[in-house]
Structure 1
């Protein structure tokens, strides 16, 4: 199948509510960790390399493979692990709400029997698992899906930074451009990793997601 659906599924206009989440970036701005172009780039590189970016790519790839083999039990195991890896209530909501909205929208507009079968009995679903299911069901290769997913993740965080940090749109695009080689590298690496390789080392960002829950002024849900 053509990869064109990825342009729709991972677009900011796709109805998953991605604009409502900052993945803790709003707290990082409030606390001064992110204050300019350089600090934003550093924060996003760490998030992609040592946090949710890399892990979500592994979950997506594993789900894609599992559905290709028709292993529905494995898909449930991957989903449970992906949800468990959300370090705070807000970040669990971020992945679960987007995952459910994504899956419902794809099933409504791009239905497929194997996707319907895989979705049965799954209430909460992590966003990368939902994307992996949709891509696999529609025959879209991991090699195309992984970089598109990671770039969309980075793009959403850059958009959040433009709305909350003292940077403009041109600066945001420079940051996104600088992240593109990293996205390509991560996508290529994640394709060959297993669930045993999942791990996170962004402790300050994780703690920040807890602190964001009680942050006085908030634009975002995470």
Structure 2
């Protein structure tokens, strides 16, 4: 007689929630993500990225060394905090993101995108029957809501509040966050290197293979090991601030 496991499995997200997360990953989301290259443009200017292979390597390194150890980890914690309406924890996470941005332009990027997402959430809320008080709480974060914390709120609005489904749902939200970042960065590489559309699609395919392990890394990362330490990225971002000719804001 087969043994039936008693462990309860987590049901998949509903269609509406999954579509909402896809929406958050869209480059059409009006938060200005397309206007940033996160120092990739400076890497091109410095001759560090000049072809498809180098662009792919650069973005994979950034995914694992920067995004997984910082923003993805923050999003995963912030979603739970929004579901609990834990404003002190959210303030702590928001301050950490802002204070660990290694250059002025990277800090301005996360604040501008965070503010823009909150404005979009306010506009979307006008069509909803019930207001969400968490949007005003997010807007009140000083000096601005950062992009990972604001994204976590948008994702939390899509997710079930029950703890039984939270683990799998948070992972799907992180997939949305990471894929949205990957698509924006590939588009930046296409313009800055420059590359063709086919090369961009190959880079995106490579990044999608690296995103799941990066998410697992972020989910398992304790707060004490969360970090924002990418010296080369910081140096290039600083140089980009005074770069003579540029397409992107970072």
Please list, as runs of the form range in 1=range in 2, the aligned pairs for 1:94-173 lying within 5 A after superposition: 94-110=109-125, 112-119=131-138, 121-123=140-142, 124-139=144-159, 141-173=169-201
Q: What is the rounded CA distance, in whole Å, between the counterparts of 1:47 and 1:118 in structure 2?
A: 31
The 3-state SS of whatever aligns with 1:11 is: coil
Alignment of 1:31-50 (within 5 A): 31-50=46-65
Question: 2: distance between equivalents of 1:51 and 1:180?
Answer: 16
RMSD of the alignment, in Å? 1.6
In the superposition, relative to structure 1, how do residues 105 and 120 fare at CA in structure 2: closer, same or farther (>3 Å)? closer
Task: For 2:170 and 2:220, locate their aligned partners in 1 and report how far apart those are by CA, in whole Å.
Answer: 10
User: In the alignment, what sits opposite 2:32?
Assistant: 17
The question of 1:88 aligning with 2:103 is answered yes
**Rounded Cα–Cα distance in structure 1 between residues aligned with 2:146 and 2:95:** 8
Deviations 1:151-170 (A, max 9, x none): 11111111001011031110
CA distance in 1: counterparts of 2:92 and 2:147, whole angstroms: 15
Structure number with larger C-alpha Rg: 2
Deviation at 1:88, TM superposition (A): 0.5
Aligned residue number for residue 224 of structure 2: 196
Aligned position for 2:72: 57
Runs of 4+ in 1 over 4 A off after TM superposition: none
TM-fit CA distance, 1:114: 4.3
**Structure 1 segments unaligned to the other structure (5+ residues):** none
Deviations 1:21-62 (A, max 9, x none): 100000000001111111111111111111135310011011
- 1:69 and 1:169 mapped to 2: Cα distance? 42
Worse-superposed segment, 91-100 or 102-111: 102-111
TM-score (norm 1): 0.94
Q: Secondary structure at the match of 2:175?
A: helix
Cα separation, partners in 2 of 1:117 and 1:128, compared to 1, 3 Å? same
CA distance in 2, matches of 1:53, 1:93: 20
Moved more, 70-79 or 191-200: 191-200
**Structure 2 length as normaliser, TM-score?**
0.84
Distance 1:120 1:10 in 2: 21
